Structure 1
Amino acid sequence: MNYPYGKSGLSLPFYIYYEYMLLTYQYKLAPTPEQIVILEIWGELLRRHWNYALGERLDWLRRTRSQVDRCSLVCEPIGEIPSKVDYFAQASNLKETKELFPDYKNIYADCQQQNLMRLDKAWKRWLTPDKNGKRGGRPRFKKPGDISSFTFPRVNHPKAGAYLTGNVLKLSKIGKIEVILHRQIPDGFEIKQATILVKADGWYCSFSLEDKTVPAVLPIEEIKTATGIDVGLEKFLTTANGLSIAVPQYYRKAQATLARQQRQLARLTKGSKNYQKQSNKVARLHLHTARQRKEFHYQLAHWLANSYDLIVFENLNIRGLARTRLAKSILDVAWGAFLEIMQAVAVKRGKHTIGVDPRGTSINCSNCGQRVEKTLAIRVHSCSCGLVIDRDWNAALILLKRGSVGLPISGCRGLDISQPVKQQVSFVNLRCSRYTACG
């Protein structure tokens, strides 16, 4: 049989083709007050270094952007044209930076180099388009507090600046910090790097782990269960089996509390101690909402991976949809974040995911293919062939048909007009263990 997805079967995320997987485990730290001061000083010094290095790059670009045989009509820099500024040139100047500013001697050298690498990546994303011809935004100068993380590129290595022994993380020039290991690092996982970051509720460490035991992908011939999922705002998603998940609306539910805390923040003097305390309260509310949403996404992704071998979803232009009047609701459900989590969970479980074109899924009939025009207010799909079902369920069936072309499974799962004329979706009460939802 000829499959439309190439010799290797279905399209999967890029890291499944390598001989290992990279995972990230994040743990909370319990630093002492003295260590917190050191971490904050490191962040401020790295911010200043970022701004200086970015200024060097922008100055070089301004002086060399005009071609040799013509001059700008607005302005033209005078003086010697500097040599090209890149990561290697700026990294070689770190020794001179430490001589001029002795405070930088107290920062681990690899952390400063990683800071320059971040700037180099952002610079290249701005100037060099990707395979789709798109470029990132221009790197920005950082305000105080904007750089809230720094990376140790090696852990538990003879030349590393970070060592993890049990629940104690020893950092070069900082000391030993207790790590709250809410889950153990699995045996056989190698710690590649550690990133120290601060959030509204304290300091954290993100370990990048390498797992060389890549799970075997389920052969296409063994796919027994498949579904299409249609995401929406009235229902978070609807499967091709007629099951629906309600929209949790975490941000909408927190709006009243958030508005009250923000009003209190607006009445305070900016920069004062009370302003900083109230600002931290607002940040904690946003952090709690984001964590609720992420937990919901992981629970739903694990439920789908447990229930189906193949999941077909729609490739939506979420960035374009977020510019409409429904932007707040679209950003609240966070479809893009959910789809990324779902694909990552599917890869770790050896399941398949396919993204298909969503055009026409809300209009066409899943039974006969006839075009049935309807507005967003009409939530029931009623076709002349006799099929009357929920419009989201109809869209999920179409997605499943498109994603299962050429595969040895039934695309419509046996739904036809011989069944009851009116089909109603049933809501699923999603309740998963928090330990199975961690990913």
Structure 2
Amino acid sequence: MLYNSYMLLTYQFKLNPTSEQVVILETWGELLRRHWNYALGERLDWLRRTRSLLDRCSLVSEPIGGIPDKPDYYTQASDLQQTKDLFPDYKNIYADCQQQNLMRLDKAWKRWLIPDKKGNRGGKPRFKKRGDISSFTFPRVNSPKAGAHLTGNILKLSKIGEIEVILHRPIPNGSEIKQATILSKSDGWYVSFSLEDKTVPELLPIDEIKTATGIDVGLEKFLTTAHGQSIEVPQYSRKTQSKLARQQRKLARKIHGSKNYQKQASRVARIHLHVARQRKEFHYQVAHWLVKSYDLIVFENLNIRGLARTRLAKSILDVAWGAFLQIMQAVAVRRGKHTRGVDPRGTSINCSGCGQRVEKTLAVRVHNCSCGLVIDRDWNSAINLLNYGSVGLPIPGCGGLGVSQPVKQQVSYVNLRCSRYTACS
């Protein structure tokens, strides 16, 4: 196996801090939240004082006074010493963590004001309420000047102490830990190690691609391949909504801010966390199965954000196509396989056998063409995706089913019984 590149992997482990360390971690999060809000307020104040509509003066609605210097990461980072002098509690926070907090704000600010190559911009940075900032980053690990050192299953953090790490899986040999992020979830504290993995294989040469498929994602079936294999929608959120609604009704009857309210809110948050973990594990299982089975996977570039504004938003967000496609592409790179996104327009209408347009509504789940091809709608779309994605590649497209087969073709469901840590069979 040849290796010519590297990629960043994230391994997350649960921490077992003492009660005193939990207090320190929570205090750090609160102080960093206040500093975020202050730094964001400086930037917004500068923006209000320096912008004005073309046909009016900003003095009508803005305070009179000198225009402050433009704040950026460097000016705000240089003010950290002054912050520590005015508020001694910030001296107890590792300096790199405070700088990383300002870097996050700077990235969010630039995403909002500066569009990317496609002209898209991020949302406006928001002030954080209590508990919103529940993570902080140590940018260096196991280096001489690092604030975090991992020895065995003990993580030593500067100004916090040694914390036991529950290593439920080993860290790959040869990988270098670049940074450590401490984060809080509803069921405890975790650490996310960013690993530089240098064992990424070269992409499989195009002329060596032997197996390829197209995948059509949907709500009736999670996905259907061009070979007629289909996976059911797990509907984790739907199956949990009755239990979640019961716990939310209990939360509504609690006095806001009381200890009982906080306990019940934690129960609700743990339900959401469990559903998210179920969904993520399912995505990894499907991704590993696809990447192991095929050298090239063609998928459709969907406007998921637009689809999530329709009446099917709850079901679309439950299946989380966007998260799955990201995971699948990352798994493919890790194994040296190819993925390709194509325009989905016309894939469910055009016949995969003869290319003729067969208009149909979403309620029609069978593709029935005058050429004699009767096939599942999603299967037909997956074959078209494979044909579109294999254009220009020296591999044979699927070509559709033979038009001499007028019998309705049924998809076969695949049962996934594997873990993302082991290869799917």
CA deviation profile, 1:141-185 (whole Å, cap 9, x unmatched): 000000000000000010100000000000000000000001111
Q: Which residue of 2 aligns with 1:48?
A: 34
8 Å CA contact retained: 2:387, 2:399: no
Letter in 1 for 2:195: L
**Residues in 2 aligned to 1:174 and 1:72: alpha-carbon distance in whole angstroms:** 48
1:352 and 2:338 equivalent? yes
Letter in 2 for 1:349: R
Instruction: Return the offset for 1:213.
Output: 2.5
CA deviation profile, 1:298-354 (whole Å, cap 9, x unmatched): 000000011000000000000000000000000000000000000000000000000
Alignment counterpart, residue 204 of structure 1, candidates 181, 187, 190: 190
Instruction: Return the offset for 1:275.
Output: 0.7
Alignment counterpart, residue 153 of structure 1, candidates 136, 139, 148: 139
**Residues in 2 aligned to 1:54 and 1:342: alpha-carbon distance in whole angstroms:** 36
Q: Which residue of 2 aligns with 1:3?
A: none
**Residues in 1 aligned to 2:419 and 2:106: alpha-carbon distance in whole angstroms:** 41
Consecutive unaligned residues of structure 1, counting only runs of 5 or more, are 1-16
Structure-to-structure mapping, 1:47-196, within 5 angstroms: 47-66=33-52, 71-72=57-58, 74-196=60-182
8 Å CA contact retained: 1:295, 1:437: no
Alignment counterpart, residue 326 of structure 1, candidates 312, 316, 320: 312
8 Å CA contact retained: 1:27, 1:204: yes
CA deviation profile, 1:93-147 (whole Å, cap 9, x unmatched): 0000000000000000000000000000000001101111111111100000000
TM-score of the superposed pair, with normalisation by structure 1: 0.94
Alignment counterpart, residue 283 of structure 2, candidates 297, 302, 307: 297
**Residues in 2 aligned to 1:434 and 1:313: alpha-carbon distance in whole angstroms:** 21
Q: Which residue of 2 aligns with 1:435?
A: 421
C-alpha distance 376-211 of structure 1, shift in aligned 2 (>3 A): same
1:425 and 2:391 equivalent? no
Letter in 1 for 2:284: Y
CA deviation profile, 1:61-108 (whole Å, cap 9, x unmatched): 111113899623742431111111000000000000000000000000
Q: Which moved more, 1:119-128 or 1:213-222?
A: 213-222
1:379 and 2:374 equivalent? no
Instruction: Indicate the percent of aligned positions where both proteins have the same amino acid.
Output: 83
Aligned residue pair count = 422
Alignment RMSD, CA only? 1.6
8 Å CA contact retained: 2:212, 2:294: yes
**Residues in 2 aligned to 1:144 and 1:281: alpha-carbon distance in whole angstroms:** 18
8 Å CA contact retained: 1:28, 1:180: yes
| SS at structure 1 position matched to 2:58 | coil
| SS at structure 1 position matched to 2:9 | strand
| SS at structure 2 position matched to 1:26 | strand
| SS at structure 2 position matched to 1:224 | coil
Letter in 1 for 2:374: V
Alignment counterpart, residue 8 of structure 2, candidates 22, 27, 30: 22
Instruction: Return the offset for 1:276.
Output: 0.7
**Residues in 2 aligned to 1:437 and 1:139: alpha-carbon distance in whole angstroms:** 41
Consecutive unaligned residues of structure 2, counting only runs of 5 or more, are none
Letter in 2 for 1:325: R
Instruction: Return the offset for 1:419.
Output: 3.7
C-alpha distance 205-281 of structure 1, shift in aligned 2 (>3 A): same
TM-score of the superposed pair, with normalisation by structure 2: 0.97
